[in-house]
A and B are shown apart, each in its own frame.
Chain A
């Protein structure tokens, strides 16, 4: 499920399933900023699937949201490590 990932000097980061693994091109970005369908989260609708690298109990792993179907997931975003709140 959550395979340990090899660690190099690169900084692996999260990516949205179904989107290319590189930064959005300017046209797509424009769309999402203007609130296209991809930018809207609605209650009662599917949570966008994503994969993100994780630090978990001493290991670097990969977390894929859809691997956790069958359980409740609390997904919390926050501004930054070592900030205060």
Chain B
């Protein structure tokens, strides 16, 4: 979503993005001229008249599970976004019975919070795992 019109979205997709992504952009490119939606999400820069690089993860119940906002010159890490969604999906599937420690990736061990784990995380999780 940006403040550009759907007409500009079409031209950007057709003339440039479709050369980067086969078949063009697969998801809806949303238009927010005036920044009304961006204002409610807290990422509209009124002085510049553009939206900053906000990214929101919204779960199947419509709840915001996470967000990240960057100023324009630095791009996002899409792999990290996907990792976070995978982590939230595991937490959701387990109905909160599992949690993902720092550095968790799909396939790595989760934590099962409970009385037995209090004071014992050091036995099952090492600091190095945060940097894997």
Given A70-B60, A77-B2, A77-B54, does the pair A55, B9 have CB atoms closer than 8 Å? Answer: yes
| Cross-chain contact A77 with B55 (CB below 8 angstroms) | yes
A81–B2 contact, CB under 8 A? yes
Known contacts A39-B42, A63-B28; A12/B6 CB under 8 A: yes
Q: Interface of A with B (CB < 8 Å)?
A: 2, 11-16, 19, 23-24, 32-33, 38-50, 52-58, 60-61, 63, 65-66, 69-83, 85
- Asked whether B40 lies within 8 Å of A54 as measured between CB atoms, the reply is no
Complex CA–CA separation, A79 to B59 (angstroms): 24
Q: Of B53, B61, B62, B89, which is within 8 A of A65 by CB?
A: B62
Task: Give the bracket for the number of chain B residues in contact with chain A.
Answer: 35 or more
> Which residue in A2, A41, A58 is a CB contact (below 8 Å) of B56?
A41
| Residue of A38, A43, A44, A81 touching B4 (CB-CB under 8 A) | A81
Q: How far is the CB of A79 from chain B (nearest CB, A)?
A: 4
Contacts of A19 in B (CB 8 A): 36, 40
B65 at the interface (CB under 8 A from A): yes
Q: Is B75 an interface residue (CB 8 A)?
A: yes
* Residue of B40, B64, B85 with most partner-chain A CB within 10 A: B40
> Which residue from B37, B41, B46, B59 sits with its C-beta under 8 Å from A72?
B59
Q: Complex: how many Å from CA A69 to CA B12?
A: 29
- A54-B30, A76-B53 are known contacts; what are 14 more A-B pairs with Cβ within 8 Å? A12-B6, A13-B32, A14-B32, A14-B33, A16-B40, A41-B42, A42-B64, A48-B37, A54-B29, A57-B24, A74-B81, A77-B38, A78-B1, A80-B50
Which chain A positions have C-beta within 8 A of B41? 41, 48, 75, 77
Chain B, interface SS category: mixed
A33 partner residues in chain B, CB cutoff 8 A: 46
When distances are taken between beta carbons in the complex, the residues of chain B under 8 Å from A78 are: 1-2, 51, 53, 72
Output the nearest chain B residue to A2 by Cβ-Cβ distance: B28
Q: Which of A45, A52, A70 contacts B63 (CB 8 A)?
A: A45
